[in-house]
């Protein structure tokens, strides 16, 4: 089944985890601009060299750069029947560019995963990423996890999950990305889900919103 889905929400809302689940379930690619940029940084490509310092400071990479990345990615054959976008768009110009790219495709389903700032800071300070399989591991009972539950791989903290950078990312989110809620709010395919629920509860709400497609009703 085709699905054009975009997940938005502050850093630490659990977008990445939910996006992977949905992409697997719908057999469409998970397109995460943050992951693509981090891979470019790892590989030390010209793109990576341009993005690294911006990302470490919690700022946004330029619109033209990320729009180009997404345009190329959406043209690959595996995205022909749909995609789950995670971390893009993050500004109004990016959203406008996406609308132009999707001109003749199915409508875009937009799900906002809402989490408040204190929760974001608490979650991200304990978030770790597996160096083996890329799984995102959250805190259980207040402690940072020690090893990957999936592959037992070593866990690391993302460079931009340090508290000072998290605060900057949140500020940037509220100023530049949250206005997208108003950009999409009036569409019948917009839904907001409570990111403070458990991972499975959020997954159920998100799947429901995604399946609803163009017939979902906007929640108050």
Q: Which is nearer to ligand ADP, 37 or 111 (CB)?
A: 37
Binding positions for ligand ADP, 40-99, rule CB under 6 A: 54-55, 58-61, 66, 87-88, 90, 94
Residues with Cβ within 8 Å of residue 180, at least 6 apart in sequence: 8, 89, 90, 91, 92, 95
Residue numbers annotated as active site: 15, 90, 127, 158, 169
CA–CA dist 95, 112 (Å, integer): 14
3-state DSSP call for residue 23?
Answer: helix
Contact partner, 30, from Zn ion, ligand ADP, none, Cβ < 5-8 Å per class? none
Residues with Cβ within 8 Å of residue 18, at least 6 apart in sequence: 7, 113, 199, 202, 203, 206
The binding site for Zn ion (CB under 5 A) comprises 130, 132-133, 135, 148, 150-151, 153
Block residue for tokens 């809620």: 181
Task: Tell which one of 37, 109, 110, 210 touches ligand ADP (CB under 6 A).
Answer: 37
**Minimum CB distance to Zn ion, residue 40 (Å):** 22
List, as one string, the DSSP characters of 139-193.
-BTTBPP-B-TTT--BEE--GGGSHHHHHHHHHHIIIIITHHHHHHTTSTTEEEE
Binding mask 123-162 for ligand ADP (x = CB under 6 A): -------------------------------------x--
With binding defined as CB under 6 A, does residue 195 bind ligand ADP? no
Task: Tell which one of 21, 123, 128, 169 touches ligand ADP (CB under 6 A).
Answer: 169
Q: Which is nearer to Zn ion, 136 or 207 (CB)?
A: 136
3-state DSSP call for residue 127?
Answer: coil
Where along the sequence are the contacts to ligand ADP (CB under 6 A)? 11, 33-34, 37, 54-55, 58-61, 66, 87-88, 90, 94, 160, 169
């Amino acid at each position: 089944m085709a699905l054009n889905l975009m997940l938005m929400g502050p850093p630490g809302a659990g977008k990445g985890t939910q996006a992977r689940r949905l992409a697997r379930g719908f057999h469409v690619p998970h397109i995460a601009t943050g992951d693509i940029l981090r891979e470019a940084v790892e590989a030390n490509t010209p793109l990576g060299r341009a993005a690294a310092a911006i990302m470490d400071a919690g700022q946004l990479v330029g619109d033209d750069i990320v729009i180009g990345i997404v345009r190329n990615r959406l043209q690959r054959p595996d995205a022909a029947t749909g995609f789950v976008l995670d971390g893009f768009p993050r500004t109004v110009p990016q959203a406008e560019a996406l609308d132009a790219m999707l001109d003749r495709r199915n409508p875009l389903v937009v799900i906002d995963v809402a989490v408040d700032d204190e929760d974001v800071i608490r979650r991200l300070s304990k978030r770790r990423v597996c160096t083996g399989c890329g799984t995102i591991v959250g805190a259980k009972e207040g402690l940072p996890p020690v090893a990957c539950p999936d592959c037992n791989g070593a866990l690391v903290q993302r460079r931009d999950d340090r508290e000072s950078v998290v605060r900057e990312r949140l500020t940037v989110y509220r100023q530049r990305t949250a206005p997208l809620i108003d950009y999409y709010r009036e569409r019948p395919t917009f839904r907001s889900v409570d990111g403070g629920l458990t991972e499975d509860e959020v997954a159920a709400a998100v799947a429901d919103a995604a399946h609803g497609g163009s017939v979902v009703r906007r929640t108050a």
